[in-house]
Amino acid sequence: MRIHLCVVGRLRAGPERELIKDYIQRFDRTGRSLALGPISEHEVEDKKGGGMAAEAALLSRAIPDGALVCCLDERGATLSSPDFANLIAGWRDNGRQDVAFVIGGADGIDPAFRQRSDAALSFGSMVWPHMLVRVMLTEQLYRAASILSGSPYHRA
């Protein structure tokens, strides 16, 4: 099952980019034997200032046809890491070929886009900068693959 990170904004070189690169590499290595991965990033930018609706249109074009769409949103479900791993495994086991995790811009995700999504996840009721959400998501994807593979990375 391929994983797509569909995000608003371009992440420049720096510590966040290095962390994301590291977690994606770890996930791709760990997930390969579990039929998970690879992870690909799709960055979109609304250069015309059209707001959330314009960002939603750009995100929609970045998502592969037939992909399950999961928005990262503070109104989404809050899961434990093992529950997230089981969710990923369930999507894979039910035949999903592609899953797109969507991270909006500074104003969040367009409400109409969010309504059309298949799932929504939250990293808590606090609002996080989207570059940190990307880091946290890639770490949790790697953690999920580690849990599913029986690795000792997750200590619960």
What are the DSSP calls for the chain, one per residue?
-EEEEEEES---SSHHHHHHHHHHHHHHHHHGGGT---EEEEEE--TT--HHHHHHHHHHHHSPTT-EEEEEEEEEE---HHHHHHHHHHHHHTT-SEEEEEE-BTTB--HHHHHHSSEEE-S-SS---HHHHHHHHHHHHHHHHHHHHT-TTS--
* pLDDT (average), residues 67-90: 97
Look at 33 and 153; give whichever has higher pLDDT: 33
Res 156 pLDDT > 80:
no
What pLDDT, on the 0 to 100 scale, is given for residue 71?
98
What pLDDT, on the 0 to 100 scale, is given for residue 155?
78
Give the model's confidence band at 154: pLDDT under 50 very low, under 70 low, under 90 confident, else very high: confident
Give the model's confidence band at 26: pLDDT under 50 very low, under 70 low, under 90 confident, else very high: very high
Tell me the pLDDT tens digit for each residue of 96-135: 999 999 999 988 999 999 999 999 999 998 888 888 999 9
Q: Tell me how far apart the alpha carbons of residues 50 and 68 are, in angstroms, rounded to a whole number.
A: 25
Omega into 38 within 30° of 0, i.e. cis? yes
Q: What domains does the chain contain, in order, with CATH numbers?
A: 2-149 (3.40.1280.10)
Backbone angles phi, psi at 31, to 5 degrees: -75, -20
What's the whole-number average pLDDT of the chain? 95
Res 32 pLDDT > 90:
yes
